[in-house]
Structure 1
Amino acid sequence: MEVNTTTTTVPSGPPTRNHSYTQHRLHSERHSHNHSHGHFPSKTILIIIAFVTLVTVLFIIFVVLFLIRRQKSSSKNGTCEEDSRELHDTSSRLITSTTLNSSPDVKSGCLHGGNLSRTPAPKFRGVQVFTYRELEIATDGFSEANVIGSNGIIGGHGLIYRGVLSDGTLAAIKLLRTEGKQGERAFRIEVDLLSRLHSPHLVELLGYCADQHHRLLIFEYMPNGTLHYHLHTPNDQYQLLDWWARMRIALDCARALEFLHEHAVSPVIHRDFKSNNVLLDQNFRAKVSDFGLAKMGSEKRNGRVLGTTGYLAPEYATGKLTTKSDVYSYGVVLLELLTGRVPVDIKRAPGEHVLVSWALPRLTNREKVIEMVDPALRGQYSKKDLIQIAAIAAMCIQPEADYRPLMTDVVQSLIPLVRNQSSLSSSSSLRFQKQTPSPTH
């Protein structure tokens, strides 16, 4: 039996239909892959650019805020240090140079961190430099009608004028007639000291003029003049100082010297404290002026005998200079307030020419102290307070400097007296108001 065998050949590749499908799928995947590769770089770049831009903006904002904060901080803290350094440099030039070309300009509170005084210093706008022409205009050409006093200094003399500065400030303008090195030195010392020392009990220096050979000092205006004129002027030109006003003046002067001796960075010895250098404001509160003879430094230095006769302590004859010498001068002014007498008066009877030598043995005798009181007071004073004032004066004018008190002790002794007087004045005023009958209609 014959079997017919047919051999079937199977093709090696897939069917035609399957092959076309596969090719189409591969083509689609390749196209999709190429499409996605074309768009990915663009999105990434956009994201990166946006991120970098955001970071840059934030950084710029941060830098701007930092600079603003730093500028504010430097304006608050740096200015004060800068002004202090400027003052220190200027003050040094002021003492060593032969001509004054710059101003020791300072701001309140920047000087020594406010440690000069226990009492808050008044607002201080800074020492200004004026031209001679500006001051000539302020005083109407230094008219005689504007002369309000004169002031003698070692090596020269000067007239004091009332003037109105360009900003409307009323000022006392001292025109110095300096002669020689001593007068120039006095001018520089006063400018230097008052540029750095600020107290409500010292007359404020507003400015100065060192224009060519002209030397002028510009001070705050004190409308009631000097203590000397109020105590010793015979006519009715000045208002009589009652006991209460005299005690306040005594305390103000004591505080001024206490500030100079105890609260300045270096002790300052005034060397010419007297009633002529005590000025009174509109409320008859006292301020000390004229620092042309002042000396800075520690105690017990030798110095020239400078000052005013009648106010000089005995140790000046030996050339020894201490703060206790100012205490002696203060005691003399206290005697003036108590007695109404001048320190030296040759018109009086023998033995009464020099106030200190006449008063010292009487200050410890109650009856004699009462006889010493200024007749102008007409008995209107507290006898108890009078005895205490006499005791303070007796201590201040002791011949031996070591027996004199510190000005701090004098201040503490006077405070209760002034406080008591203030209380008595208030209670008297209240009693008067209660006792005054109401008007009848």
Structure 2
Amino acid sequence: MGLLAILLALVLVLFLGERKRRRREGEKGHGGWINKGSGERRLGRSASDEKLMTDISEWLDKYKVYGIEELRQATSDFDYSRLIQGTVYKGTIDGEVFAIKKMKWNACDELKILQKVNHTNLVKLEGFCIDPEDGTCYLVYEYVENGSLHSWLHDTTPTRRLDWRSRLRIALDLAHGLQYIHEHTWPRVVHKDIKSSNVLLDSKLRAKIANFGLAKTGINAVTTHIVGTQGYIAPEYLADGLVTTRMDVFAYGVVLLELISGKEAVSEDGEALWVEAEAVFHTREANVVAWMDPVLREQSCPVDSVVTVLNVALACLQRDPSKRPTMVDVAYTLSKADEQFADYSGDGLSVGSEDVPVVAR
């Protein structure tokens, strides 16, 4: 399948919303015809189509266009054994490993956003593919070796557990990634689906934000179509459909609670973790050590550092979005906490089972 056919497929699928293309010999449509047997093509385009082709050419300059057969070979024809999570498969192309995401919806918005972001704490898009037979879109990402933060925190039989230094660095990496999309893109990007399963860890356990499928550009928008994951959705978005960067800040606060407590964002009883934390830490007498992940209590872990991160989490989880910190503020605070941790002697928990107050509310 030539590049011209891939371009046509991308126009039809991404911009005109067609999910199926009929490809029968001699069939007419879209201003021309395709002769499958001879390989001849004649494509007539309107002025609007010409503009769309120009837009796509910008993506082609930045990303590699893969053939569908190339991806099928890379994933053993999308065999179940290659499945990573959801509709993401592990594939090997020319000796290099990639994560190949089969899209369930129109990939246009995600491509538009991904083509303008580039940061070490965001999963990098390497290329894409359009299946000419059915118009399915595939996005090809860098492969992040150590999987999701969710699996590290919540799998029942993990191979190893994260220590506090790793968790603090993950929190800081995630803050830097969000700071970038909130402050250094224009228009600003709202991820809308920050959660521990969308935070991936590389070979050095550094964090990268994945899955921009729900992301939107612009701020202070209102929608009636509420999407997201239970336990991470900001109250103002759930109630009024208000889309701002502060909804990412709220979800980030939930991830911090997961890092501290080792608990899921929603309990088996359906209670949100942020609601539990709000109830537990509404007074200065709350016992932070008792609420920490038991794994951390068994390790050498400075409680003062945990309290700092907990205070950041509670600030991010303010019900009034205007009272939440920006990711600039969060990144600065956590950077200081990381510097202080470097001076920690490693003598273990500093307070045992004593009460440790949460100092900033």
Give the TM-score taking structure 1 as reference length: 0.63
2:308 to 362, 372, 388: 388
- Distance, in Å, in 2 between the alignment partners of 1:287 and 1:376 is 23
Residue 376, structure 1, aligned to residue 295, structure 2: yes
1:170 to 93, 97, 122: 97
CA contact under 8 A between 2:201 and 2:208: conserved in structure 1?
A: yes
Aligned to 2:195: 274
CA contact under 8 A between 1:146 and 1:163: conserved in structure 2?
A: yes
The 1:365/1:391 distance shift into structure 2, 3 A limit, reads same
Residue 143, structure 1, aligned to residue 65, structure 2: no
Query: Deviation at 1:131?
Result: 1.5
Number of residue pairs aligned between Structure 1 and Structure 2: 298
- Distance, in Å, in 2 between the alignment partners of 1:287 and 1:208 is 20
- What stretches of structure 1 of length at least 5 have no aligned partner? 1-90, 108-125, 151-158, 429-441
Residue 246, structure 1, aligned to residue 170, structure 2: no
CA contact under 8 A between 1:191 and 1:208: conserved in structure 2?
A: no
- Equivalent positions of 1:212-291 (< 5 A) are 212=132, 213-237=135-159, 239-291=160-212
- Distance, in Å, in 2 between the alignment partners of 1:415 and 1:258 is 13
CA contact under 8 A between 2:219 and 2:243: conserved in structure 1?
A: no
The 1:406/1:273 distance shift into structure 2, 3 A limit, reads same
Aligned to 2:25: none
Query: Deviation at 1:145?
Result: 2.1
Q: Which amino acid aligns with 1:148?
A: I
- Distance, in Å, in 2 between the alignment partners of 1:257 and 1:201 is 9
- Distance, in Å, in 2 between the alignment partners of 1:94 and 1:295 is 20
- Equivalent positions of 1:150-169 (< 5 A) are 150=86, 159-166=87-94, 168-169=95-96
CA contact under 8 A between 1:345 and 1:353: conserved in structure 2?
A: yes
CA contact under 8 A between 1:201 and 1:253: conserved in structure 2?
A: yes
The 1:132/1:95 distance shift into structure 2, 3 A limit, reads closer
SS in 2 for 1:196: coil
Aligned to 2:249: 327
The 1:209/1:106 distance shift into structure 2, 3 A limit, reads closer
- Distance, in Å, in 2 between the alignment partners of 1:232 and 1:315 is 28
Residue 338, structure 1, aligned to residue 260, structure 2: yes
Query: Deviation at 1:188?
Result: 1.6
* Structure number, greater radius of gyration: 1
Query: Deviation at 1:195?
Result: 1.5
Q: Which amino acid aligns with 1:144?
A: Y
CA deviations on 1:209-239 (whole Å, 9 max, x unpaired) are: 12232221111000100000000001034x2
Residue 358, structure 1, aligned to residue 276, structure 2: yes
- Distance, in Å, in 2 between the alignment partners of 1:382 and 1:366 is 18
CA contact under 8 A between 2:195 and 2:251: conserved in structure 1?
A: yes
CA contact under 8 A between 1:104 and 1:192: conserved in structure 2?
A: no
Query: Deviation at 1:143?
Result: 2.1
SS in 1 for 2:287: helix
Aligned to 1:45: none
Aligned to 1:292: 213
CA deviations on 1:163-185 (whole Å, 9 max, x unpaired) are: 1113x321011123x2xxxx21x
Name the structure with the higher helix share. 1
CA deviations on 1:175-203 (whole Å, 9 max, x unpaired) are: 23x2xxxx21xx22222211111011100
- Distance, in Å, in 1 between the alignment partners of 2:115 and 2:205 is 25
SS in 1 for 2:301: coil
The 1:131/1:318 distance shift into structure 2, 3 A limit, reads same
CA contact under 8 A between 1:224 and 1:281: conserved in structure 2?
A: yes
CA contact under 8 A between 2:190 and 2:219: conserved in structure 1?
A: no
Give the TM-score taking structure 2 as reference length: 0.77
- Distance, in Å, in 2 between the alignment partners of 1:104 and 1:93 is 17
CA contact under 8 A between 2:222 and 2:240: conserved in structure 1?
A: no
CA contact under 8 A between 1:206 and 1:220: conserved in structure 2?
A: yes
Q: Which amino acid aligns with 2:125?
A: L
- Distance, in Å, in 2 between the alignment partners of 1:214 and 1:386 is 45
Aligned to 2:38: none
Aligned to 2:119: 199
- Distance, in Å, in 1 between the alignment partners of 2:317 and 2:331 is 16
SS in 1 for 2:85: strand
- Distance, in Å, in 2 between the alignment partners of 1:175 and 1:93 is 17
Query: Deviation at 1:362?
Result: 2.5
Q: Which amino acid aligns with 1:400?
A: D
CA contact under 8 A between 1:103 and 1:128: conserved in structure 2?
A: no
1:127 to 60, 63, 68: 63
- The higher-RCO structure (CA 8 Å, 6+ apart) is 2
Query: Deviation at 1:302?
Result: 3.9
Residue 416, structure 1, aligned to residue 309, structure 2: no
- Distance, in Å, in 2 between the alignment partners of 1:391 and 1:290 is 28
- Distance, in Å, in 1 between the alignment partners of 2:157 and 2:236 is 37
- Distance, in Å, in 2 between the alignment partners of 1:127 and 1:319 is 34
- Equivalent positions of 1:299-318 (< 5 A) are 299-302=220-223, 304-316=225-237, 317-318=239-240
